[in-house]
Amino acid sequence: KERTDIKLKMPPAVYERVVVKNSPVYQYMKVSLVLEKAQTKLTAVEFKHLITTGLKSLYGEVGAAFPFDLLTFEEDTLTAVLRIYSRGLVRLWSSLTLLGFFQQQRCAFRVLQVSRTSSYTL
């Protein structure tokens, strides 16, 4: 039998452009670090250095120079709140996602919450 192609009439794709006026300068990200050896402890300085290392490995020296602030850090749970320029949120998030080792042990960052304001509870 000879195959005949069936052409379906699809409605044209509809795209919507969303423009946010007065978008915030900063985004706030709550993250936690999961380590292979749960008893491993980090200081706030080591935690921030690990994030900077992830930025550098993915984006080079320019990425390592990307500014972000470590607003809070809980050593017991390895949970932190970061303040990032809105234009760099995706860059920081992707570097956290791809970071997989800390001191020869596997690790993973979990993004718990992202907010446009710092008023959320921890």
Q: What is the pLDDT of residue 100?
A: 87
pLDDT at position 38: 82
Which pLDDT score is estimated for 5?
56
Q: What is the pLDDT of residue 22?
A: 75
Contacts of 9 (CB under 8 A, 6+ apart): none
115: burial class by Cβ within 10 Å (0-12, 13-18, 19+)? middle
Domain 26-115 sits in CATH at 3.30.70.3250
Q: What are the backbone dihedrals phi and psi of residue 71, each rounded to the nearest 5 degrees, phi first? A: -80, -45
Give the per-residue pLDDT at 68. Answer: 93
Q: At what angle do helices 89-98 and 44-64 cross, to 10 degrees?
A: 110
Greater confidence (42 vs 12) lies with: 42
Listed residue (84, 66, 74) closest to 29, CA to CA: 84
Q: What is the mean pLDDT of the chain?
A: 84
Q: Is the pLDDT of residue 73 over 60?
A: yes
**pLDDT tens-place string over residues 45-54:** 999 999 999 9
Residue 6: pLDDT band by 50, 70, 90 thresholds?
A: low
Section 31-54 average pLDDT: 92
pLDDT above 90 as % of the chain? 50
* Length of the chain measured in residues: 122
DSSP-assigned letters across all residues of 22-90: T--SEEEEEEEEEESSTT----HHHHHHHHHHHHHHHHHHHHHT--EEEEEEETTTTEEEEEEEGGGHH
Residue-level pLDDT at 110: 94
d(Cα 117, Cα 20) in Å, to the nearest integer? 15
> What does R_g of the chain's alpha carbons equal in angstroms?
20
- Using 50, 70 and 90 to split pLDDT, how confident is the model at 92? very high
